[in-house]
């Protein structure tokens, strides 16, 4: 009997040892899970079943099969006993079968319990509901990430964990407040007037103490030094473009890169000299991406231009240009005052020979959308926010200029003044006519025109659809993919720059120590009247779909998306939360909480 039990006892102890050793395997399980999901998505068979569930099902099937065998043995032993007819040998044989079957049943039950326990730990490591790493943070969650959305960071390029990034890419970071320039650019001196760039002592090398860019496999010791990264920034001192002097990566293999924005007094600072990263985010921000083996030589194209040409619009309409890829913000954003200043995109009233209209060119939507907000104040919307207007009763002409080519192109010429036209993150000049080649300034500009009336459009945007859907009677039962973005479709075209991380965000009921792991970012897509994404200038956009991307959800945890009234449409009318499908316009409070109108702020 002891010889028969010994293998089973050893097996149980082996499984117990595997349980104790499980934490060291969590990272590998998480990586395998991500690889399975990527493969499934590439094959077009993506679903919500993960690697742990697949393994668990296979083990359960195997144990269930053994259980069937034991049942057959018990039935056979019973048959032998009942038909023994007083034969002692047959009775002993039946007892032996019954005893062995019971022992096997105990072993299977123990194995089933241990298997469920171990798989539960692995699932928790992947989704955040199980064993945690140091400091109480789940093994599958990256720290120094919460500043994106929840802290000082609005967006960056390349995105978190992006793959297939061109070797000639720039690295872009947008902050929510103006940044002290010399905390990002070595030895830069604003001479005490940060808003006045005309008296600055200009340098371009990265401050490699505050900004660490390095091959992930080389570690922080391989950080690109000041002379290897050139930095430029937008006039509002919020967006900084880091352009490596040499190509990133390798022509033969994909290469991972890490970017660290450091906290502390020797890290990134706000314009007033205070810390950019504070509180739960004091350690700064870290993200990874992977370069491919190629160089991007494809020029960017215009996907849509709003307002559409040839029609007349109320004068509080904004001008919006959407591109098919991320654009270098220093080439496509800026201010015009007294017809002077930013000239790469121009808006004229009464013909291109007239002065460039004053206003701001603002980039958003993960660097794919540029909007012109005119300087003429013409009223306030229903939320009390300023509304700006184009000249009324006028013919408006807009032009996005291609850049001067560097040789044959498609790369643009870079001077001490930057680019003289719109370029993508790989410095390729705009392909204004969409023929696939960059013709340079004059030959490849993108222009269109429309008319304005003296009317003011006062219709606010309203929600048509959300995903996950709102269900106040059954909260927490969405059962969605933990990586699925929050999506909200509006009935009109949004002011893209208003759908930002301050107006569209997710609050969680995760433990406080997880705060620096949960990040989110926003984007939006133009849709036709059939809810198809607009991918070509010939398609007519009529509405927008906003998205909130985020860190994967943890299991059994509540997440609440919030949309604030700061979201506006192309006529600068603010979103009224009570105009969503569950809160129709009418009597009641101004807030919509779980599809209920209330005068109080939404509780969480």
Q: CB of 423 within 8 A of CB of 403? A: yes
Question: What pLDDT is recorded for position 196?
Answer: 93
Question: What pLDDT is recorded for position 177?
Answer: 98
Buried b (16+ CB within 10 A) or exposed e, 135-174: eebbbbbbbbbbbbbbbbbbbbbbbbeeeebbbbbbbbbb
Confidence of residue 480 (pLDDT cuts 50, 70, 90): confident
Contacts of 223 (CB under 8 A, 6+ apart): 208, 212, 213, 214
**Residues 434, 451: Cα–Cα separation, whole Å:** 25
Whether the per-residue pLDDT at 14 is higher than 80: the answer is no
Instruction: Give 179 or 75, the one with higher predicted confidence.
Output: 179
Whether the per-residue pLDDT at 22 is higher than 50: the answer is no
**Residue 545 C-alpha from the chain's centroid:** 15
Confidence of residue 353 (pLDDT cuts 50, 70, 90): confident
Whether the per-residue pLDDT at 106 is higher than 90: the answer is no
DSSP state of 270: B
Give mean pLDDT, residues 44-63.
60
Q: Where are the beta strands (DSSP E) in 278-393?
A: 284-291, 302-306, 312-313, 319-323, 334-337, 340-341, 345-349, 359-364, 369-374, 376-380, 386-389
- Rounded to the nearest integer, the mean pLDDT of the chain is 86
Instruction: Give 33 or 319, the one with higher predicted confidence.
Output: 319
Give mean pLDDT, residues 296-317.
97
Instruction: Give 11 or 146, the one with higher predicted confidence.
Output: 146
Give mean pLDDT, residues 203-222.
97
Q: Tell me the two tokens of residue 418.
A: 């930057």
pLDDT tens-digit map of 584-596: 555 555 566 656 6
In what order do the strands lie in the sheet containing 340-341?
Answer: 302-306, 319-323, 369-374, 359-364, 334-337, 340-341
Whether the per-residue pLDDT at 408 is higher than 50: the answer is yes
Confidence of residue 6 (pLDDT cuts 50, 70, 90): very low
Q: Where are the beta strands (DSSP E) in 334-478?
A: 334-337, 340-341, 345-349, 359-364, 369-374, 376-380, 386-389, 395-400, 446-452, 463-467
Contacts of 345 (CB under 8 A, 6+ apart): 321, 332, 361, 370, 372, 398, 399, 400, 401, 422
CA proximity to 409, closest of 384, 385, 432? 432
CA proximity to 327, closest of 403, 404, 434, 424? 424
Contacts of 556 (CB under 8 A, 6+ apart): 129
Q: CB of 302 within 8 A of CB of 526? A: no
Q: Tell me the two tokens of residue 4.
A: 């028969």
Rg (CA), the chain: 30
pLDDT tens-digit map of 367-382: 999 999 999 999 999 9
Least confident window among 53-67, 187-201, 286-300: 53-67
Whether the per-residue pLDDT at 349 is higher than 50: the answer is yes
Confidence of residue 9 (pLDDT cuts 50, 70, 90): very low
Whether the per-residue pLDDT at 23 is higher than 70: the answer is no
pLDDT tens-digit map of 164-177: 999 999 999 999 99
Give mean pLDDT, residues 394-413.
96
Beta bridge partners of 568: 574
pLDDT tens-digit map of 61-86: 887 777 788 788 888 888 887 887 77
Question: What pLDDT is recorded for position 36?
Answer: 46
**Residues 544, 456: Cα–Cα separation, whole Å:** 21
- What own/partner pairs with CB < 8 Å and gap ≥ 24 does 507-511 have? 507/559, 507/560, 507/562, 507/604, 508/557, 508/558, 508/559, 508/560, 509/557, 509/558, 509/559, 509/604, 510/128, 510/554, 510/557, 511/136
pTM for this entry: 0.77
Instruction: Give 406 or 59, the one with higher predicted confidence.
Output: 406
Whether the per-residue pLDDT at 485 is higher than 60: the answer is yes
Give mean pLDDT, residues 23-45.
44
Question: What pLDDT is recorded for position 586?
Answer: 57
Instruction: Give 50 or 90, the one with higher predicted confidence.
Output: 90
Question: What pLDDT is recorded for position 41?
Answer: 40
Taking each helix axis from N to C end, the angle separating 88-127 and 51-82, rounded to the nearest 10 degrees, works out to 170
Contacts of 553 (CB under 8 A, 6+ apart): 127, 128, 480, 482, 559
Judge residue 509's burial from the number of C-beta atoms within 10 Å of its C-beta, 0-12 exposed, 13-18 middle, 19 or more buried: exposed
Give mean pLDDT, residues 225-237.
97
Give mean pLDDT, residues 494-506.
98
Q: CB of 390 within 8 A of CB of 374? A: yes
Whether the per-residue pLDDT at 128 is higher than 50: the answer is no
Give mean pLDDT, residues 242-271.
98
Give mean pLDDT, residues 295-321.
97
Least confident window among 40-49, 103-112, 236-245: 40-49
Question: What pLDDT is recorded for position 158?
Answer: 98
């Amino acid at each position: 009997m002891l010889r028969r039990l010994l293998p089973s006892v050893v097996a149980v102890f082996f499984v117990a040892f595997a349980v104790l050793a499980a934490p060291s395997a969590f990272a590998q399980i998480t990586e395998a899970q991500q690889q399975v999901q990527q493969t499934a998505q590439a094959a077009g068979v993506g679903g919500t079943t993960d690697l742990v569930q697949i393994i668990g099902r296979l083990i359960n099937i195997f144990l269930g099969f053994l259980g069937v065998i034991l049942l057959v043995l018990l039935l056979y032993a019973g048959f032998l006993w009942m038909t023994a007819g007083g034969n002692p040998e047959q009775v002993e044989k039946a007892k032996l079968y019954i005893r062995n079957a019971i022992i096997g049943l105990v072993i299977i039950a123990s194995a089933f319990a241990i298997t469920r326990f171990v798989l539960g730990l692995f699932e928790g490591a992947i989704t955040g509901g199980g064993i945690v790493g140091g400091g109480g943070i789940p093994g599958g969650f990256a720290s120094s990430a919460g500043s994106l959305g929840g802290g000082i960071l609005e967006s960056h390029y390349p995105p978190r964990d992006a793959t297939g990034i061109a070797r000639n890419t720039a690295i872009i970071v947008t902050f929510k407040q103006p940044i002290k320039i010399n905390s990002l650019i070595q030895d830069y001196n604003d001479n005490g007037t940060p808003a006045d760039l005309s008296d600055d002592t200009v340098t371009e090398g990265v401050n490699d103490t505050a900004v660490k860019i390095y091959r992930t496999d080389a570690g922080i010791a391989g950080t690109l030094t000041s002379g290897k990264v050139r930095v430029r920034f937008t006039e509002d001192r919020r967006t900084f473009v880091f352009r490596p002097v040499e190509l990133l990566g390798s022509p033969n293999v994909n290469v991972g890169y890490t970017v660290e924005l450091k906290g502390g007094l020797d890290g990134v600072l706000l314009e007033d000299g205070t810390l950019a990263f504070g509180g739960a985010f004091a350690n700064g921000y870290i993200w990874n991406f992977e370069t491919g083996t190629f160089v991007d030589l494809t020029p960017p194209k215009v996907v849509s231009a709003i307002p559409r040409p040839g029609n007349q619009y109320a004068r509080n309409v904004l001008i919006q240009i959407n591109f098919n890829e991320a654009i270098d913000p220093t080439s496509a954003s800026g201010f015009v005052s007294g017809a002077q200043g930013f000239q790469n995109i121009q808006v004229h009233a009464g013909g291109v020979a007239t002065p460039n209209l004053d206003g701001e060119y603002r980039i958003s939507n993960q660097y794919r959308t540029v909007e012109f907000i005119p300087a003429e104040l013409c009223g306030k919307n229903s939320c009390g926010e300023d509304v700006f207007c184009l000249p009324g009763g006028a013919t408006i002409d807009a032009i996005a200029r291609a850049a001067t080519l560097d040789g044959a192109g498609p790369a643009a010429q870079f001077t001490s003044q930057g680019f003289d036209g719109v370029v993508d993150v790989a410095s390729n000049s705009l392909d204004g006519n969409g023929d696939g080649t960059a013709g340079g300034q004059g030959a490849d500009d993108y222009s269109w025109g429309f008319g304005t009336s003296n009317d003011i459009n006062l219709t606010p945007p309203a929600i048509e659809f959300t995903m996950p859907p709102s269900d106040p009677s059954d909260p927490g039962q969405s059962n969605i993919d933990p990586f699925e973005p929050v999506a909200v479709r509006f009935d009109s075209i949004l002011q893209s720059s208003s759908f930002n991380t301050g107006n569209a965000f997710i609050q969680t009921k995760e433990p406080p120590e997880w705060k620096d792991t949960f990040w989110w970012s926003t984007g939006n897509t133009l849709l036709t009247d059939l809810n198809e994404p607009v991918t070509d200038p010939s398609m007519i956009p009529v509405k927008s779909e906003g998205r909130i991307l985020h860190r994967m959800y943890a299991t059994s945890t509540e997440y609440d998306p919030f949309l604030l009234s700061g979201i506006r449409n192309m006529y600068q009318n603010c979103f009224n939360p009570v105009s969503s499908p569950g809160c129709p316009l009418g009597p009641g409070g101004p807030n919509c909480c779980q599809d209920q109108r209330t005068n109080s702020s939404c509780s969480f």
